[in-house]
Amino acid sequence: MTSLPKFSSLEAVSALTADLPSYDSAAAEAAVARQNTLTKPPGSLGRLEELAVFMAGWRGTAQPEINKAQAIVFAGNHGICAQGVNPFPQEVTHQMVANFKAGGAAINQLCKVAGADLSVVALDLDNPTQDFTTSRAMTESECLAAMQAGADAVDPEADILVLGEMGIGNSTTAAALAHAVFGGEARAWVGRGTGSDDEGVRRKADVVSRAVTLHGSAEKMEILQAVGGREQAAICGAVLAARALRIPVMLDGYICTASVAPLHATDSGLLDHCLVGHASAEPGHHLLLDGMGKEAVLDFKMALGEGSGAALALNILRGALACHNGMATFAEAGVSDA
């Protein structure tokens, strides 16, 4: 097994690709061969078949199972809130972390239904990142520490990793990350987040535009340091650790997907083991999915965050594997496949 990454510098992330496990084509081909023997017309289960083969390739077995599903919500606070980009105070991040731990949030209920073990990792909530319209959001050491916290939170025994986030102001952070990586107009990446009105959306777009102009020289993982947050950095670290362990990842919606945009900018192959659980109601998410060449598992018009869409999509993934592993073949059922 590949050892878990230790993040010594942001520049070193670029060199990780060569040392990380790749897709097991032989296991995937064996999974396809099994699909073709099951008691159904070929391809009739559509994307469920694709998901089963995806899991086979990353778990390295023709009949993968989810015996242990891990869900992690990373939480952080953001200096960009000084620009008035959010209608809620940052204390809400603390309060929601307490709610997660008490079992009272949507993600708690969805993890119970999906059979996922949930943990919450709060990242220095009393020390928000810097306002990225005036300086980089984090020092390199702060960014690396958050990445390492994310990597260290991954359970090596997990068969699937579900990722979510919480942080007042982080829809603006997500828009800045997406805009910095994929360009276009700042306004295209900005949505209402937790309830911004039209003026709030205009303010967010202006903030994102100014920030990306200020940090225009940042490239690849430096973008994460420049306009990201601690929870975004932790998500990147968790994604890389999961790759080292051959654990597929189910990302949540816009903020989670934007969190890994710097990994995509560094090497798009770093996200090959990642699924996106749902297409967020935030308008920038569809642009982001197109830019990354990914298709969400679900589109339920959700925009809650917390990992809620990813946890819901885990049920679909379980269904895909139940059919893949549990259905009879034509020979076993005595059904003619002619």
As annotated, the active-site residues are: 306
Q: Tokens 């990225």 map to which residue?
A: 132
Per-residue tokens: 90: 């940052």
For residue 146, what is the enclosing H or E element?
A: helix 140-152
SS3 of residue 167 by DSSP: coil
Whole-number Å distance between alpha carbons of 29 and 53: 8
Q: Tokens 């023997």 map to which residue?
A: 37
Nearest alpha carbon to residue 234 among 123, 93, 109, 96: 123
Q: With contact defined as beta carbons under 8 Å apart, do 123 and 146 qualify?
A: yes
Q: Count other C-beta atoms under 10 Å from residue 8's C-beta.
A: 10
Whole-number Å distance between alpha carbons of 20 and 28: 18
Whole-number Å distance between alpha carbons of 215 and 127: 22
Q: How many helices (H) and strands (E) does the chain have?
A: 14, 5
Q: What Cα–Cα distance (Å) separates residue 44 from each residue in 48, 185, 294?
A: 9, 40, 22
Q: What Cα–Cα distance (Å) separates residue 291 from each residue in 120, 184, 227?
A: 29, 11, 19
Q: Which amino acid is at 290?
A: D
Q: Which amino acid is at 304?
A: L
